[in-house]
């Protein structure tokens, strides 16, 4: 289609496109539109196909002009769209009236991805802090694995009931003169009782065959709604005490748990696992600090549409996390302060994406089909599906380019880390309980 196009670089992220469609093209398109309308029009007093154009123009001129102008705008835009890396939807800024006697002029404004000549991205000084692993943390890992080998066994020594015990109890609950519950033998889990929570307070310290009478308040977490939160007189007798027994670590048990070489090999393997986890956590922190440094050293304008896209992704991710923690998805709301923080993070993510793409192009960092295949196989393994099914889904959702872009960002960031000046620093080990909190926080991030 014949037209004249003038492109104005309004800014690094905005282009204004001024289209001029020549009068002869406009006349041809209007003639075609009226010819098609003439074939279809059914007006009183005229045979189909015989309505004069002057009548059609008077009756349908506004609609025809609108349709033709929309078609010309759409075709012209589709003709040039591949020239731009769009960031958001195009906006029709100005459109003149269409007429067969003059050129048709209209203006479209678009946001584009900014072109950035990235500076200061090689040899960046980046702190690389690796948290040391303490003996207490290794022992905590061992204790956690030994919990999986624990068994419930009868308490044979002459001790009283302790928290965590399973107590077979003969029990009667009364409310005044009325007997509310009678159990010839019910198992009370002293740390997570769901039937008669509150009775365990009476059982603590009691020994086998001992009896006691006392007041108890049944907890709100009981499955019996009619007992919930009420106080009763309880008569209890301990019939049997069972406790969870965690075996002590020795070479034979370590071998059974899959550690060739016994207990020492198990300690060494778990220490290595913790050290590798700390090393990867340090690399993740270094990646973030590296990106922050590059973003800070390369100031540029970012289109709102790119920020909005990142913001939407952050909001959806946070909603999923809160839903998993038990919140009703329909009731999840974010405060102004939270949205402000999320937009700040979204702006950073959008800028980082542009910079990583520019660096990849500059350093010729490419993602081959083999990398795509490997990631698809990884996703398939995690979801218990076939690679073909994952590939089919990505193609159906037009998400293959998104996957390639994400892998390119990962590869580029790894390249940057390899070319950074890492400032290695070993941080002293923390107590096991604090280390577990740090690990949990890292997993959330």
Tens of pLDDT, residues 332-348: 899 999 999 999 999 99
Return the axis-axis angle of helices 432-444 and 262-297, rounded to nearest 10°: 50
Output the DSSP codes for 407-445: HHHHHHHHHHHHTSEEEEEEEPPPPHHHHHHHHHHHHH-
Determine what percent of the chain is predicted with pLDDT higher than 70.
96
Task: Establish how many alpha carbons lie within 13 A of residue 123's alpha carbon, considering only the half-sphere containing its beta carbon.
Answer: 2
pLDDT reading at 443 higher than 70: no
List C-alpha distances in Å: 432 to 134, 141, 254, 409, 427: 8, 9, 21, 35, 15
- Which pLDDT value is given to residue 341? 95
What pLDDT band is residue 240 in, cutting at 50, 70 and 90? very high
pLDDT in tens, 178-222: 999 999 999 999 998 999 999 999 999 999 999 999 999 999 999
Average pLDDT over residues 260-284: 95
Element (H, E) at 245: strand 231-245
Distance CA 357, CA 355 (A): 5
Residues in CB range of 165: below 8 A, 6 or more apart: 155, 190, 241, 242, 243
| C-beta of residue 174 within 8 angstroms of C-beta of residue 232 | yes
pLDDT in tens, 135-180: 999 999 999 999 999 999 999 899 999 999 999 999 999 999 999 9
| C-beta of residue 409 within 8 angstroms of C-beta of residue 353 | yes
Residues in CB range of 343: below 8 A, 6 or more apart: 307, 311
Q: Which pTM does this prediction carry?
A: 0.68
What pLDDT band is residue 88 in, cutting at 50, 70 and 90? confident
Name residue 216's beta-bridge partners: 232
Strands 421-427 and 211-217: unpaired
What pLDDT band is residue 97 in, cutting at 50, 70 and 90? confident
For 5-10, the CB contacts below 8 A with 24+ separation are 5/76, 5/80, 10/109
- Which pLDDT value is given to residue 439? 38
What pLDDT band is residue 3 in, cutting at 50, 70 and 90? confident
Buried-state track 416-445, b at ≥16 Cβ within 10 A, e below 16: bbeebebeeeeeebbebeebeeeeeeeeee
Distance CA 417, CA 420 (A): 5
Residues in CB range of 203: below 8 A, 6 or more apart: 161, 167, 169, 188, 190, 212, 236, 238
Strands 166-175 and 151-154: unpaired
Between 96 and 52, residue with greater pLDDT: 52
Name residue 153's beta-bridge partners: 243
| C-beta of residue 214 within 8 angstroms of C-beta of residue 199 | no
- Which pLDDT value is given to residue 184? 95
Q: Work out the end-to-end distance of the chain between its first and last CA atoms, rounded to an integer number of angstroms.
A: 52
Distance CA 202, CA 176 (A): 19
- Which pLDDT value is given to residue 1? 66
pLDDT reading at 440 higher than 90: no
Q: Which of 184, 211, 189, 214 is nearest to 200 (CA)?
A: 189
């Amino acid at each position: 289609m014949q037209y004249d196009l003038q492109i104005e670089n309004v800014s690094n992220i905005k282009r204004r496109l001024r289209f001029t469609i020549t009068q002869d093209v406009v006349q041809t398109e209007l003639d075609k539109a009226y010819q098609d309308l003439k074939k279809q029009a059914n007006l009183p007093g005229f045979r189909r196909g015989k309505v004069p154009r002057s009548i059609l123009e008077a009756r349908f001129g506004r609609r025809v002009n609108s349709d033709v102008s929309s078609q010309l705008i759409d075709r012209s835009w589709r003709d040039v769209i591949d020239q731009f890396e769009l960031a958001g939807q195009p906006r029709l800024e100005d459109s003149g009236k269409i007429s067969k006697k003059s050129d048709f002029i209209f203006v479209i404004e678009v946001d584009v991805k900014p072109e950035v000549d990235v500076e200061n991205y090689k040899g960046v000084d980046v702190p690389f802090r690796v948290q040391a692993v303490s003996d207490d943390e290794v022992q905590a890992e061992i204790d956690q694995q030994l919990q999986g080998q624990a068994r419930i066994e009868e308490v044979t020594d002459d001790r009283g009931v302790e928290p965590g015990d399973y107590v077979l109890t003969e029990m009667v609950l009364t409310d005044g003169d009325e007997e509310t519950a009678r159990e010839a033998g019910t198992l009370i889990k002293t740390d997570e009782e769901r039937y008669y929570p509150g009775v365990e307070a009476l059982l603590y310290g009691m020994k086998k065959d001992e009896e006691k009478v006392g007041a108890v308040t049944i907890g709100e977490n009981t499955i019996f709604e009619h007992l919930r939160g009420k106080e009763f007189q309880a008569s209890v007798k301990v019939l049997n005490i069972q406790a969870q027994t965690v075996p002590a670590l020795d070479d034979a048990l370590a071998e059974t748990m899959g550690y060739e070489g016994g207990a020492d090999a198990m300690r060494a393997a778990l220490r290595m696992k913790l050290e590798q986890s700390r090393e990867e956590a340090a690399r993740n922190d270094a990646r973030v600090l590296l990106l922050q440094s590059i973003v800070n050293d390369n100031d540029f304008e970012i289109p709102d549409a790119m920020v909005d896209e990142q913001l939407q992704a952050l909001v959806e991710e946070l909603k999923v996390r809160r839903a998993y923690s038990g919140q009703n998805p329909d009731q999840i709301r974010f405060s102004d302060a939270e949205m402000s923080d999320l937009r700040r993070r979204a702006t950073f993510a959008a800028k980082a994406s542009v910079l990583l793409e520019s660096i990849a192009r500059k350093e010729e960092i490419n993602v081959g089909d083999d990398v795509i295949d490997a990631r698809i196989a990884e996703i398939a393994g995690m979801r218990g599906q076939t690679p073909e099914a994952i590939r089919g889904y990505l193609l159906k959702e037009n998400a293959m380019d998104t996957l390639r872009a994400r892998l390119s960002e990962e590869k580029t960031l790894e390249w940057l880390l390899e070319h950074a000046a890492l400032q290695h620093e070993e941080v002293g080990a923390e107590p096991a309980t604090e280390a577990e909190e740090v690990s949990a926080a890292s997993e959330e991030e």
